[in-house]
Structure 1
Amino acid sequence: MLERKPRKDRTEVTFVLPADRPPGPVSVVGDFNDRQPGTHTPRPRNDAKGAVTVGLPSERTHSFRYLAAGDYWFNDEAAGDQDGPNSRLRT
């Protein structure tokens, strides 16, 4: 799930993983972090979901995927759009 908060100079996007996400570490890997695993790692929330917030330039389209342990890649169904194998979001 994605949560967006428009700010004056950017959009804060919170990437939220369900409580039943794959076990082990998960990273948000996208064009906004040079596709580097480990840069944006969701942390547990009180509701057992994992979340990480990233400030992204507004009025742009970004592509991303999640990478879990064991080289398991998966998309965010809430993104609503795909770019080949990637999820896509508009800020």
Structure 2
Amino acid sequence: MISRSEPDKQGLVALTFSLPGEVSGPVSVVGDFNDWDPHAHPMTVGQDGRHTVTVQVPQGLSLAFRYLREGGIWFDDPQADQYDERGGIVHIPAVASGEPASAPQPA
């Protein structure tokens, strides 16, 4: 599962990657955001057995990523927005600043 936060004041979005407890052994999320370094974002196992990690990324990007399990086993997230030859792709849309479009306009 992949969840996205709203951008913070610096325009960064928190991407949280989460895998079910059935996945065994150490797992890392690797991708464009960490130069595909398997040591940069290891996932931690919570009390519920789920593996999770949160990564801060700039808004307005499309990033490729995959999971790397112990023993050199690569796998994709079934909830990725799309896939290409690098793996899953997650889209981080840019959020326009200013008032929402539905805000009343001055007369």
Give the TM-score taking structure 1 as reference length.
0.92
Deviations 1:6-49 (A, max 9, x none): 1231110000011111x221111101101000210111123210
Could you tell me which runs of 5 or more consecutive residues in structure 2 were left unpaired when the two chains were aligned. 93-107
| Aligned counterparts, 1:38-77, within 5 A | 38-77=39-78
Q: How many positions carry a matched residue from both structures?
A: 90
1:85: how far off?
4.2
Letter in 1 for 2:43: P
Give the structure with the larger strand fraction. 1
Aligned residue identity for 1:59: G
When the two structures are superposed, what TM-score results if normalisation uses the length of structure 2?
0.79
Aligned-pair Cα RMSD in Å: 1.1
Unaligned runs of 5+ in 1: none
Distance 1:80 1:57 in 2: 17
More relative contact order, 1 or 2 (CA 8 Å, 6+ apart) = 1
- Which 10-residue stretch deviates more, 41-50 or 57-66? 41-50
Letter in 1 for 2:15: V
Cα separation, 2, equivalents of 1:70 and 1:31: 21
Residue 36, structure 1, aligned to residue 21, structure 2: no
- Secondary structure of the residue aligned to 1:32 is helix
Structure 1 outlier segments of 4+, above 3 Å: none
Aligned counterpart, 1:15: 17
The structure with more radius of gyration? 2
